[in-house]
């Protein structure tokens, strides 16, 4: 990180921006308050006025990071778009987010800082987070008859964990799936839908590969 001089504006926001910029290229374990002090040309005491420790910085980054992540799913509840299309396009956004922000993704979902995350974030917090949006979309599908009426919480966890598993494989380079990620995502999505779509229901989609999956099932 190049050294700069920041003596204007909101220093706390500058520190956070630099922190997010830093982990785009570097492991978050290497991010320290000294790194921020050197980069901004300020003393560590100036940083301590905003963050009393690295854990305090990490807590704020987790809160802001989840806001960035949750904004990825802004159209998940847009009823003007076919439900199945929303599921698929947001699944792609999930994988793309992990690929473009691997260190941030590890911060948000990894084990390393789970003790901090669990203090400030819950999957059941409010209606604005990605998990809650997915759960509400599933419940919308159940109400309309598109999805089978199962435990929506359990269905949400199954879908989320499937995406998380695929994302983790991609960003950690396991099995070299990155080159064929769309193929694997389609296969995963088809498998999930096969156990969730209601029988004898006509479903509208604008995604060609889903046509065979969305055909009404015979009794």
Mean pLDDT over 30-38 rounds to 90
**Cα–Cα distance for residue pair 6/39, rounded to 1 Å:** 9
Percent helix, strand, coil in the chain (nearest 5)?
Answer: 65, 0, 35
The burial of 71, by beta-carbon neighbours within 10 Å (0-12 exposed, 13-18 middle, 19 or more buried), is given as exposed
Q: Which residue has the higher pLDDT, 98 or 177?
A: 98
Identify whether the C-beta of residue 188 lies closer than 8 Å to the C-beta of residue 162: yes
Using pLDDT thresholds of 50, 70 and 90, give the confidence band for residue 159. Answer: very high
Least confident of 16-20, 23-27, 121-125, 210-214: 210-214
Average of per-residue pLDDT values in the chain: 84
Instruction: Convert the pLDDT of each residue in 119-143 to its tens digit.
Output: 888 776 666 688 999 999 999 999 9
Class for domain 63-210, per CATH?
Answer: mainly alpha
From 191, 190, 216, select the one nearest 202 (Cα to Cα): 216
Q: How far is CA 60 from the centre of its chain?
A: 17
> What would the CATH number be for the domain defined by 11-52?
1.10.10
pLDDT of residue 2: 45
Domain boundaries, the chain: 11-52, 63-210
Same CATH topology for 11-52 and 63-210: the answer is no
Handedness of CA 9, 13, 15, 18 (dihedral sign): negative
For residue 211, what pLDDT band results from cuts at 50, 70 and 90?
Answer: low
Given this model, what pLDDT does residue 114 score?
93
Lowest-confidence pick of 18-27, 164-173, 191-200 = 191-200
Residue with tokens 């374990």: 29
pLDDT at 9: 54
Report whether pLDDT(162) > 90: yes
Average pLDDT estimate for 194-210: 69
How much is the pLDDT for 213? 63
Higher pLDDT, 189 or 58: 58
> What is the average pLDDT across 188-200?
76
Each residue of 61-89: pLDDT tens digit?
A: 999 999 999 988 888 999 999 888 899 99
Tell me what pLDDT residue 43 has: 82
pLDDT value of residue 65:
95
For residue 197, list its beta bridge partners: 147
pLDDT of 30: 94
């Amino acid at each position: 990180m190049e050294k700069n001089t920041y003596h204007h504006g909101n220093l706390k926001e500058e520190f956070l921006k630099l922190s997010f910029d830093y982990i785009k290229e570097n492991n978050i374990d290497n991010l320290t308050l000294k790194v921020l002090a050197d980069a901004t040309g300020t003393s560590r005491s100036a940083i301590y006025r905003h963050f009393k420790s690295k854990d305090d910085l990490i807590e704020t980054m987790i809160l802001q990071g989840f806001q960035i992540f949750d904004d990825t799913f802004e159209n998940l509840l847009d009823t003007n778009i076919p439900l199945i299309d929303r599921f698929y396009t947001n699944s792609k956004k999930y994988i793309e987010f992990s690929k473009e922000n691997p260190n941030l993704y590890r911060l948000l979902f990894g084990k390393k800082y789970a003790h901090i995350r669990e203090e400030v974030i819950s999957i059941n917090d409010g209606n604005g987070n990605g998990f809650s949006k997915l759960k509400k979309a599933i419940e919308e599908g159940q109400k309309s008859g598109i999805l089978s009426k199962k435990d929506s919480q359990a269905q949400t966890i199954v879908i989320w964990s499937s995406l998380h598993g695929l994302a983790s494989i991609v960003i950690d380079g396991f099995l070299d799936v990155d080159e064929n990620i769309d193929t694997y995502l389609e296969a995963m999505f088809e498998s999930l839908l096969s156990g969730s779509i209601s029988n004898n229901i006509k479903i509208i989609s604008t995604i060609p590969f889903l046509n065979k999956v969305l055909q009404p099932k015979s009794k």
